[in-house]
Amino acid sequence: MASASSSVRESTVADALNTAAFSPFHLKAMWAASMGFFTSAYDLFIIGTALVLIKAEWHLSASEVGLIGSISLIATFAGAYFFGILADKLGRKKVYGLEAILMTIGALLSAVAPNVTVLLIARVILGLGIGGDYPMSAVLMSEYANAKSRGRMVSLVFSAQAIGLVMGPVVALTLLAAGMNHDAAWRVMLGLGALPAMAVIYIRRTLPESPRWLARVKGDSATAERQLASFSLGTAVANKSDKIVKQPLSKYWLTLLGTAGSWFMFDYAYYGNTISTPMVMHHLAPHADVIQSTALSLIVFAVAAVPGYFLAAFTIDRVGHKTLQMLGFFMMGLMFLLIGAFPILTQSIAVFLVLYGLSYFFAEYGPNTTTFVLAGEVFPVNLRTTGHGLSAGTAKVGAFLGALVFPILLAKFGLHGTLMITFFFALAGLLLTAFCLKEPSGRTLEDISGEDNVVPGPGNRPVHA
């Protein structure tokens, strides 16, 4: 590559990746990353159905139900912070796959838990792995992707969450309809979460290092160029060394407020509602048994949520990443406002399901997808997993609070009061997006982050081969 003719346009590793054609390598990386999000969705949301059975068997209090449902989310916060910072320091490859091992251990331990204490420990281990998966998978796909279709590629990775979201109720309904003992049923539900994570441990450990990180953080352009060739990225060629990037995090405080703040607001609303959906359905139809309430949850997820994920993936680069997030927050909040302000709407189960389903559609066709994408593209390469990890981790504090207090709010204020509170979180997310973030759609990672606006100091000069 270094011997390329002078008639060939000079191209850095970043330039080559930004213009590289989609290849079989991208499919392999997307599959490896997607299985993590299938696992995280299944594991985080199946607990809502499992808790209905565990509560009856172990005679849990409302606070115990809230803690079991939310403890993995606070662990996710810690995992995202830790893995995010570590991957910027050591590289993506040295860390990727370790989070899948934690998810496997956590799911298996959950399945054999003899009491509340062991179940809580298992959910913490699971949460640490899930937290680590957020910055690792998002950033690797962003850094492998070209500028034109980056949003679609990263969104498709995240869309695997849709399958995990639906698979939970499907598994639960299958086991319960088959007449399985409730103690065995919830254990099988939780244990099955180990399978997809286990399946991608090896492939994740063998994926190559991000060429962007090698060239622009480590300063190893030669290895980065060899990685480019191994990706089989068509005509992508680098014949010019990249700059070393050492941007300070303090320069990105407003960006971090936008990514972490909007994601926090969204996750409070989303995880609080989703983990507690079986309870919401029971509140709406108090005479429904666990199979009926789970079936109602499945209808909402399959009909409303799943199309939102995939529509977002295939339109995000045309609509705009920031624009789609604002649209989703607005429509999601509007649905919560209608349900909360007009109790008469919930007198009809059909009307309620339409509004509640629309809130899910615009959650997926909006901030659930875009918060994940945006946080992986607006920070410089030396801070990219750190920024994403801080954002995802902060978001999971919101998710923890939502999952913890939603059952309590539901008992105290009823469905309408609880969703009115959720409306204000959606409104806050909309405002943070509008005032703190810029539109990254169609732009390169280097342009979005401004990482080439070199900060004076040692190591920030262009490196020549």
Q: How do the pLDDT tens digits run along the chain, 465 residues long?
A: 334 334 445 678 888 888 888 888 889 899 999 988 898 888 877 887 888 899 989 998 878 887 888 788 889 999 999 999 999 999 998 999 999 999 999 999 999 999 999 999 999 999 999 999 999 999 999 999 999 999 999 999 999 988 888 888 888 888 988 889 989 999 999 999 999 889 889 889 888 899 999 999 999 888 888 887 766 555 555 567 778 899 999 999 999 999 999 999 999 988 777 656 666 666 566 666 667 767 777 777 788 888 999 999 999 999 999 999 999 999 999 999 998 888 887 777 788 888 888 998 999 999 999 999 999 999 999 999 999 999 999 998 998 888 778 878 877 887 788 889 999 999 999 999 999 999 999 999 999 999 987 554 444 443 333
Q: Residue 231's pLDDT is what? A: 67
Q: Residue 456's pLDDT is what? A: 46
Residue 239: φ, ψ to 5°: -130, 15
Q: Residue 459's pLDDT is what? A: 40
Alpha helix segments (H runs only) across 91-216: 92-95, 98-111, 116-144, 150-177, 182-191, 194-199, 201-206, 211-213
3-state DSSP call for residue 462? Answer: strand
For tokens 């060939």, the residue is: 8
Contacts of 264 (CB under 8 A, 6+ apart): 394, 395, 397, 398
* Contact assessment for residue 12 and residue 241, using Cβ atoms and an 8 Å cutoff: yes
Burial 342-357 (b: 16+ CB within 10 A, else e): eeebbeeeeebbbbbb
Task: DSSP letter for 59, please.
Answer: T
Stretch (H or E) spanning 401 = helix 384-436
Distances (CA, A) of 118 to 66, 68, 79, 181: 16, 11, 19, 21
Distance between CA atoms of 144 and 449, rounded to whole angstroms? Answer: 16
Q: Residue 413's pLDDT is what? A: 85
For tokens 């005032």, the residue is: 435
Q: DSSP secondary structure string, 216-269?
A: III--HHHHHHHHHHTT-TT----SPPBP----GGGGHHHHHHHHHHHHHHHHH
CA-wise closest residue to 245 among 95, 453, 398, 99: 453
Give the sign of the dihedral formed by CA 40, CA 42, CA 43, CA 47: positive
Q: Residue 423's pLDDT is what? A: 93
Contacts of 425 (CB under 8 A, 6+ apart): 265, 266, 268, 269, 398
Distance between CA atoms of 279 and 285, rounded to whole angstroms? Answer: 10
For residue 462, list its beta bridge partners: 243
CA-wise closest residue to 336 among 360, 315, 314, 302: 360
Q: Residue 445's pLDDT is what? A: 95
Distance between CA atoms of 10 and 416, rounded to whole angstroms? Answer: 60
The two tokens of residue 188 are 């099988």
Distance between CA atoms of 126 and 120, rounded to whole angstroms? Answer: 10
* Contact assessment for residue 264 and residue 401, using Cβ atoms and an 8 Å cutoff: no
* Contact assessment for residue 160 and residue 38, using Cβ atoms and an 8 Å cutoff: yes
Q: Residue 276's pLDDT is what? A: 61
Distance between CA atoms of 52 and 194, rounded to whole angstroms? Answer: 21
For tokens 């401004």, the residue is: 450
